[in-house]
Structure 1
Amino acid sequence: MTNDSTHHDDHLFEQVCAKHSVKPEVVSELLKIEREYQLQNKRHGIYDRLRECIQGSVQAEERRD
């Protein structure tokens, strides 16, 4: 059952990303950054890290075009 749930979650995640034209890898990286800062009282630097991740993704897309 866990494998089915994981497969369903993965499929849903990919559908949501596709619907919003966002690469799943980018969203996964953003979530990873959020989790790293989640339990910290002061989340100093999180916006810089999120911005870097997004800018890197945008720049990579621009190079492909």
Structure 2
Amino acid sequence: MAHISTLPRVFKVGATELPDPLPQGSLDEAVRLLATQFPQFRHTRVFEEDAVVEGGKLVYSLILPPPKVNG
């Protein structure tokens, strides 16, 4: 009998790790939900293959766009 388990997802921004707000949802749904608290995530695209396994977790590193500066 095979036992299938999924690794928990974590979203990493710099040194900060954010737990998955929607563990049973899709990756896009989780990032969309994170964007309600972190508006800068609206301009970030994350793909399933971007994940790296670290310490028994799937870690998605979110790269935020650089801030716009006038001048």
Tell me which protein shows more helix as a share of its residues.
Answer: 1
TM-score by length of 2: 0.26
Higher relative contact order (CA 8 A, sep 6+): 2
TM-score by length of 1: 0.28
Tell me which protein shows more strand as a share of its residues.
Answer: 2
